[in-house]
């Protein structure tokens, strides 16, 4: 995963979110790597759910606006980096986009982020968040080119998203701060990665216990013979 190749630090993430330099040579903000990792894990979890439960697939026709005919051959990390490279949207934009995605998933529990819809969902939420956060923005046609969709598709995605959200796009300071803290926990000790390691350790322990039990049964079988 790309995020492992950079220095992970809640302090660095916080600095990017509140003191990011908008110079043309600025590095890609850390929030993009953290957000892409979160979304990738969510997609992996949704894939497991969909595999085991047919009813988990979204039956709401409104959220299918984000579905593409083919799964784009681009990772979430690369896609978000592309958006940043060509739009220079600041780190707070991606936090607000994350808020919007979370609200959408809460409003439509059957909606599942997948490889088919994640790219259109991201370009839509980042564009809308940019309009909310930034003073100056590119036209929809420019975001469409960056996102790999037509201008008509971009316009429709924005309109449908606004209706899905009930036009409730305001993100107050406390909400913004809470999502920043959540992202910080992802890169701190005891955060998401620490939890994943703990789960893997638990699985390894369980596997060893099964192996030990199997060996014990074999020994007991030979003794009884």
pLDDT given for residue 209 in this prediction? 58
Short-list 38, 29, 35, 18, CA closest to 133: 18
Per-residue model confidence (pLDDT) at position 36? 92
Burial label, 219 (beta-carbon count in 10 A; 0-12, 13-18, 19+): exposed
> pLDDT of 49-80, one tens digit each?
777 665 555 556 778 899 988 888 899 999 99
Question: What is the predicted pLDDT for the residue at 3?
Answer: 42
> What does the pLDDT average to over 7-13?
63
Determine the Cα–Cα distance for residues 120 and 116; give it in Å rounded to an integer.
8
Handedness of CA 209, 214, 220, 222 (dihedral sign): negative
**pLDDT tens digits for 82-137?**
999 999 999 999 999 999 999 999 999 888 999 999 999 999 999 999 999 988 89
Nearest to 126 by CA among 163, 164, 157: 157
* Model pLDDT for residues 204-220, shown as the tens digit of each residue: 445 555 665 666 566 55
- Rounded to an integer, the average pLDDT of 142-163 is 96
**pTM (2 d.p.):** 0.75
* Alpha-carbon gap, residue 90 to 28, rounded angstroms: 10
CA angle at residue 143 from 31 to 175, to 5 degrees?
A: 40
């Amino acid at each position: 995963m790309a995020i492992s190749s950079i220095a992970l630090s809640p302090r660095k993430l916080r600095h990017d979110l509140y003191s990011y330099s908008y110079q043309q040579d600025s590095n890609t903000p850390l929030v993009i790597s953290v957000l892409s990792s979160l979304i990738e894990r969510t997609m992996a979890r949704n894939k497991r759910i969909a595999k085991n439960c047919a009813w988990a697939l979204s039956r709401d026709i409104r959220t299918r606006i984000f579905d593409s005919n083919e799964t784009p051959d681009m990772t979430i990390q690369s896609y978000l980096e592309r958006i940043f490279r060509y739009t220079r949207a600041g780190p707070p934009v991606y936090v607000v986009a994350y808020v919007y995605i979370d609200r959408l998933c809460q409003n439509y529990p059957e909606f599942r982020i997948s490889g088919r819809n994640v790219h259109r969902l991201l370009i839509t939420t980042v564009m809308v968040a940019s309009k909310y956060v930034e003073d100056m923005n590119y036209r929809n046609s420019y975001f469409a080119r960056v996102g790999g969709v037509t201008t008509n598709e971009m316009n429709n995605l924005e309109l449908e998203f606004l209706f899905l959200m009930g036009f409730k796009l305001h993100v107050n300071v406390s909400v913004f701060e809470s999502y920043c803290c959540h992202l910080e926990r992802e890169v701190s000790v005891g955060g998401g990665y620490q939890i994943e390691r703990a789960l893997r350790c638990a699985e390894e322990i369980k596997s060893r216990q099964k192996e030990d039990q199997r060996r014990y049964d074999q020994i007991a079988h030979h003794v009884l013979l």
